[in-house]
Amino acid sequence: MKSLLLLPLFFSSLVLSAPVRADYMQGCEDPEYHQYIAQRFEYFESRNRRLLNDTLRDYEASLSKESSLYQVITNLSRHIKYSAQFEPIETVQLKISHAFKLAREMSTEQKIAGEVVDGFGSQNHYVDIARAWLAYRQGDLDLAFEELLIAIDDVDSALLGAFGPDFDLVRQLYSDGHIEPVVTYIKKTELFWTGKRPNELRDAWLEMIDAGCKIQFDSVDVIKAEQLGVRSINVQEALGLDR
């Protein structure tokens, strides 16, 4: 009788530590998952090409509407992030130079009055990411990795702290086999991108990297890591037993 009483507890401990069932039967090497990732990469490129045009339109609209200089700089810097992926190098460099020219034109009074939000934190991030893209497209890997990490040095931006930094270049770097700078970038985001969701994403990405999985670097990767059998389900949390 005593052993029967212990059985539920023993079974419960097994359930709570049980690994997730892999929906992709071959794990990270499953052809179906590889096809899924290829489709997602096509989506991201299509989306970013659309955003290249959308952000240019936003920038041009802010000029025609005589928006604040800060808003103009914000729209231009966001556009530059997409411009760096697709447009000629010289075109992107001119846009970056113009963004800095506009920033220098902002008066001290405008900055003190609060027109500059986050101290250009998000704008600097976008421009640094653009510079990393340019270096990568030109084959200067050392400079590309350096600019990538500069983009998240001393980040002081409520926007990036809430929604996270850019991962478009990280996605490309990882796909091309550049693992070390990607891991460093992910770990450095802990300094400003905090909370349950960012922590879950970082854990999922690092576990997927250790397992050699292809990664899309999107919020759905937490689920994908479980479907691939890389992560274990927290059954206790899922059943509400941790409350």
Q: Does residue 158 sit within a domain?
A: yes
Residue 240 confidence (pLDDT) above 60: no
Q: Which two tokens stand for residue 167?
A: 């991962």
- CA-closest candidate to residue 34, choices 219, 216, 231, 234: 216
- Helix 196-210 and helix 179-188, axial crossing angle in degrees, nearest 10: 160
| Structural contact between residues 148 and 185, judged by C-beta atoms closer than 8 angstroms | yes
Mean pLDDT, to the nearest integer, of 145-154? 93
d(Cα 172, Cα 146) in Å, to the nearest integer? 16
Residue 17: band (very low, low, confident or very high) from pLDDT cuts 50, 70, 90:
very low
pLDDT digits (tens, 9 = 90+) for 184-219: 999 999 999 999 999 999 999 999 999 999 999 999
Which DSSP helix (H) or strand (E) runs through 1?
Answer: none
Residue 131 · residue 89 · CB < 8 Å: no
What's the pLDDT score for residue 22? 61
How far apart, in Å, do the first and last CA atoms of the chain sit?
31
Calpha distance 155→165 (Å, rounded): 10
Region for 66 from its dihedrals, namely left if φ exceeds 0, alpha if ψ lies in -120 to 50, beta otherwise:
left
| Spatial CA neighbour of 205 closest among 235, 240, 164 | 164
In a domain, 73, yes or no: yes
pTM of the complete model: 0.82
Number of structural domains found in the chain? 1
Cβ-contact 78, 108 below 8 angstroms? no
Q: Which is higher by pLDDT, 103 or 196?
A: 196
Distances (CA, A) of 137 to 94, 115, 143, 186: 16, 34, 11, 21
106 is a domain residue: yes
Residue numbers of the domain that contains 147: 55-164
Structure tokens at 83: 């411009």
Q: C-alpha distances in angstroms, 119 versus 3, 108, 111, 159, 229?
A: 65, 13, 9, 11, 42
Does residue 64 lie in a domain region? Answer: yes
182 lies in a domain?
A: no
**Residue 71 included in any domain:** yes
Highest mean pLDDT among 6-10, 63-67, 187-191: 187-191
Residue 54 near residue 45 (C-beta atoms within 8 A): no
Residue 201 maps to a domain = no
Among 43-52, 155-164, 192-201, the minimum mean pLDDT is found in 155-164
- Residue 144 is assigned to a structural domain of this protein: yes
